[in-house]
Amino acid sequence: MNTFQVSIQETSNNSIIKFEIDQFITQHQSFEFNNIDEAKKSPLAQQLFYLPFVKKIYISGNFIAIERYNIVEWKDVQEEVASQIETYLNNGGIVVEETTAPKKVPVTVYAESTPNPSAMKFVVNKKLTTTTYEFTSIDEAKLSPLATELFHFPFVKGVYIDENFVSITKYEVADWSEITMELREFIRSYIEQGKEIIASNAPKASDNTTKQLDNSSEELDDISKQIINILDEYIKPAVASDGGNIQFTSYNPESKVVEVVLQGACSGCPSSTYTLKSGIENILKEMLKDKVSSVVAING
């Protein structure tokens, strides 16, 4: 069973703190409780209401937001609350009973073109996953019920799922003008019904972010760590806006070659070579001087 980890996120309202979990605790549904009586169907919320400063609890996707009474400051109690939630989840505690009616939140999906003419990005107003997943066939997609359903469309070639969007790569048999509305409505309806996006037993994808480097610091040299940090800070946000992702694979200190994997809309994109050479490679050369000679996408 995966271990739950809870992080503390401040909000624009100083009375409300978000406790973000690294896994989903509801099936993309939202629940709001104003008191302990309303929380009868949520054992976790009931437990939290025993804390005298808890005024309101909002549970959604992969976070719990709590509004406090002014008898305490969050800085004095937030660590204890985070620890309590983490312990509860790791002990197998129930978050919300299945019969509880969720708070209805309209789902909106809009389609966004990408530099890759074979890929379209479908952006959702809900968080879909805590990490990234790419599937290039229906066999690979068994970890994602949503991706499996999408592969039932004969024109779907690949599916990439990120935090709040789905990138779909199509075969040439169909034009986007013919299928975009159909795919957009299918994704919207699927999510609105609260169906599973990523299977609960799916392994966490290997995503080389700065936060995760701590676990493998002994395996990576200093230059590799710097490359990953640069990719995370300067490259990934731009690539994500185009419906894709870039992951560091390796760095050869002798040849000074950096190998990366392009995912989603960026994989197989006609402009990916230009992006590698004129964008990523130039940035790494400029920031790391003579440490990098070239950048290669191992998936072409």
CA distance 256 to 251: 7
pLDDT value of position 233 = 82
30-45 tens-digit pLDDT: 889 999 888 888 999 9
Q: What percent of the chain has pLDDT over 70?
A: 86
Cα 159 to Cα 168, 178, 181, 227, distances in angstroms: 5, 18, 17, 27
Band (274; pLDDT cuts 50, 70, 90): low
| pLDDT, mean over the chain | 83
Per-residue pLDDT for 276 more than 70? no
Among residues 234, 235, 238, 258, which one has the least CA distance to residue 248? 258
Place of tokens 């074979």: 118
Tell me whether strands 257-264 and 294-297 are parallel, antiparallel or unpaired: parallel
In the chain, where do the E strands start and end? 6-10, 16-21, 30-33, 54-60, 63-68, 109-113, 119-124, 133-135, 156-162, 165-170, 244-252, 257-264, 294-297
Give pTM, 2 decimals.
0.59
Where is pLDDT greater, at 43 or 98? 43
219-250 tens-digit pLDDT: 778 888 888 888 888 787 777 777 778 888 88
